[in-house]
Structure 1
Amino acid sequence: MIETLPRLIENSFLIAWDYLEATGELGHPDTAARHLLDTIETMVLQGERRQLLLSNKAIASYQRFSAEQGLPLAS
């Protein structure tokens, strides 16, 4: 069964979100959500369809962004 693009984006986002939440790295939910979605959507538009790669790249990108911005972690 072929996964639809909206489902691919949703599943990739949820994997990244759950990981960041479990590790305490989530930060402000609105900021995290926007960054994760932007990263995943950009990669999908470039043709990437591997769910775990999408989520892992989004996690890494958010971690870099969070460190560069000095964002507080969610409590």
Structure 2
Amino acid sequence: MTEPLPLLIESSIEIAWDYLERTGELGDAMVAGRFLSDTIELMVRRGERRRLMLANKAITAYQQFRRHQSEHPVLASA
């Protein structure tokens, strides 16, 4: 039996969130939550249904996003 999509998305986000939190890579909770949610929802829309694959790909994407942010910080306008 397949897991309902809202539960699949929720559990995948939770796995990714917990990992990033434990490793100290979470950063801003609002940014992380939105990024993980958007990334996982996009993969689900494209047909991915494996919970760990969703979580692992979201983790990798978020780590790359954070790395890019630290290498190219946005200048605040005055």
Alignment of 1:7-18 (within 5 A): 7-18=7-18
Matched position secondary structure for 2:64: helix
Unaligned runs of 5+ in 1: none
Corresponding residue number in structure 1 for 2:40:
40
**Alpha-carbon distance in 1 for matches of 2:45, 2:21:** 26
TM-score by length of 2: 0.88
Alignment of 1:1-75 (within 5 A): 1-70=1-70
- Determine what percentage of the aligned residue pairs are the same residue: 61
Moved over 6 A (4+): none
Instruction: Provide the secondary structure at the position in 2 that maps to 1:2.
Output: coil
- Counterpart Cα distance in 2 of 1:29 and 1:70: 16
Given residue 2 of structure 2, which amino acid in structure 1 is its aligned partner?
I
TM-score, normalised to structure 1, is: 0.91
Distance 1:39 1:56 in 2: 11
- Gaps of at least 5 residues in structure 2 are 72-78
Structure showing greater Rg: 2
Query: How large is the Cα RMSD of the aligned pairs?
Result: 1.2
**Aligned partners of 2:42 and 2:60: how far apart in 1?**
14
Amino acid at match of 1:60: T
More RCO (CA 8 Å, sep 6+): 1
